[in-house]
Chain A
Amino acid sequence: MSSYVHPEYLVETEWVSQRLNDPNVRIIESDEDPLLYAVGHVPGAVQVDWFSTLQHPLRRDFLTKEKFEETCSNLGITSDTTLVFYGDKSNWFACYALWLFQYYGHQNVRIMNGGRLKWEKESRSLVKEVASYAKTNYQAKEADKSIRAFRDEVLKQSNDKKPLVDVRSPKEYSGELISMPNYPQEGATRGGHIPGAVSIPWAQAVNEADSTFKSPDELRALYEGKGVKPNGQIIAYCRIGERSSLTWFVLKYLLGYPSVKNYDGSWTEWGNLVDAPIEK
């Protein structure tokens, strides 16, 4: 069996359990459910909330570079710290947080394979005690736009018939639903997908039983089988850019595609954009 192209970006629960007290490693929980961390987390882990921590309080954008630096400083992170992200929902929001930390230039990042689900299934310890670390003076880099796509670029990608991966559920892709099944149907005035986008729901990249990523061969067959190959630029999107962060992580690190961008505007921008082309 072949291996992942950049296996160093993925660590196992056992690896993490042996580094709970390693000062060079900071374990970061990022969940969809904001109360999970308080209910119990990996000993020593800190929390980054995808909404209250990572979003700009006013505009639709991420926190500013200065705010990001302040956040990292408060979590005792230096530019050399190895950051291990994990979370609920098959590491959706862990991948989202990892993507954003890379956006501001933190290179040394990992995902804990299987996330919270696997850690819990293995009956590993969870604590309520909130960890705190000595404050640092973190310096972020300028935002790395090579991993983030904006709407004009997405339009060009679509017009040029270059690969776009729609990772939402099949009914969102077809336009039958605007949000995930059983979620409130809001956030976009039109349903459908960006012309030319192929549908590869994000969940197909993970094993349902323990939330771990599928094998390199399975992943390669999944994406290449739909024509998404490791050449040229690829853009992934979903509804707000969280599910597509997971696909971005898979394509960029597990399969080693050279140029992958996450379109965080995603359907809540595209489905509201005047004059934007839509396919159903």
Chain B
Amino acid sequence: MSNLPPKLQEIVDDFAGMTREEKLETLIAYAESFPVLPEWLREKRDSMEPVPECMTPVFLFAERLADGGVHFHLDIPPQSPTVRGLASILANGLNGRAPEEIIGVPGDFFLPMNLQEAISQQRLNGFAGVLAHMKQEAVKLIGQNHKSAPIF
């Protein structure tokens, strides 16, 4: 395995050793501990277009911290606990890390967690989707600093 940010690696390792039931319970715990969007971002979220079809609307905002790290703010409706849980794992594992490090997270980093036995392969698309979105935001932050277009 490549080097994942330590917190994310820890979460991956935890899940790898869990039974199916424990995985479900932990995912629900992540979904339920989902942080509330701070006041200063609410207006930004409300101006977002509603998405047609029945996909889960994911609001994501990357804040650059003073030390150069990234903090992801997310808003996902409670009616979508699976996407919430997966996004919450990513935010927990990546918050505070440098954008370069976030971009380096492989798109299939979650395979060793063996989550498909708990929530089925299809639903793991949410993981890849949110991670791709986070990487895009991280790329933008690098662009702002170095004034050059980064490449994946």
Contact residue range for chain A? 20 to 34
In Å, the complex CA distance between A116 and B79 comes to 9
Contact of B85 among A35, A88, A117 (CB under 8 A): A35
Contact of A88 among B52, B79, B128, B129 (CB under 8 A): B79
Answer yes or no: B3 CB below 8 A from chain A CBs.
no
A42 to chain B, nearest CB (A): 15
Interface-central residue, B24, B32, B80, B125, by most chain A CB under 10 Å: B80
Known: A35-B119, A39-B31, A203-B54. A184 touches B125 (CB 8 A): yes
Contact in complex: A169, B24 (CB < 8 Å): no
Answer yes or no: B89 CB below 8 A from chain A CBs.
no
Q: Which residues of B contact A38 (CB under 8 A)?
A: 24, 28, 81
Contact of B82 among A35, A52, A89, A90 (CB under 8 A): A35
Residue of B nearest to A39 (CB): B81
Residue of B nearest to A184 (CB): B125
Residue of B nearest to A89 (CB): B54
Q: Which residues of A contact B79 (CB under 8 A)?
A: 33, 36, 88, 116-117, 120
Contact in complex: B123, A34 (CB < 8 Å): yes
Contact in complex: B51, A181 (CB < 8 Å): yes
Contact in complex: B28, A180 (CB < 8 Å): no
A259 to chain B, nearest CB (A): 28
Contact of B28 among A39, A88, A92, A120 (CB under 8 A): A39
In Å, the complex CA distance between A32 and B128 comes to 18
Q: Which residues of A contact B55 (CB under 8 A)?
A: 180-183
When A and B form their complex, which 8 residue pairs have the shortest distance between CB atoms, in order from nearest?
A35-B81, A51-B120, A89-B54, A180-B53, A182-B55, A33-B82, A184-B125, A35-B82
Which applies to chain B's interface (DSSP): helix, strand, loop or mixed? helix
Counted as pairs of residues, one from A and one from B, with CB atoms less than 8 Å apart, the total is 61
Seed contacts A39-B31, A182-B51; 12 additional CB < 8 Å A-B pairs: A33-B79, A33-B81, A33-B82, A33-B83, A35-B82, A35-B85, A39-B78, A51-B120, A169-B53, A184-B125, A203-B52, A203-B53
A38-79: CB near B (< 8 Å → 1, else 0) gives 110000000001011000000000000000000000000000
Interface-central residue, A35, A39, A116, A120, by most chain B CB under 10 Å: A35
Q: Which residues of B contact A51 (CB under 8 A)?
A: 120, 122
Q: Which residues of A contact B78 (CB under 8 A)?
A: 39
Q: Which residues of A contact B54 (CB under 8 A)?
A: 32, 89-90, 92, 180, 203
A121 to chain B, nearest CB (A): 11
Residue of B nearest to A168 (CB): B53
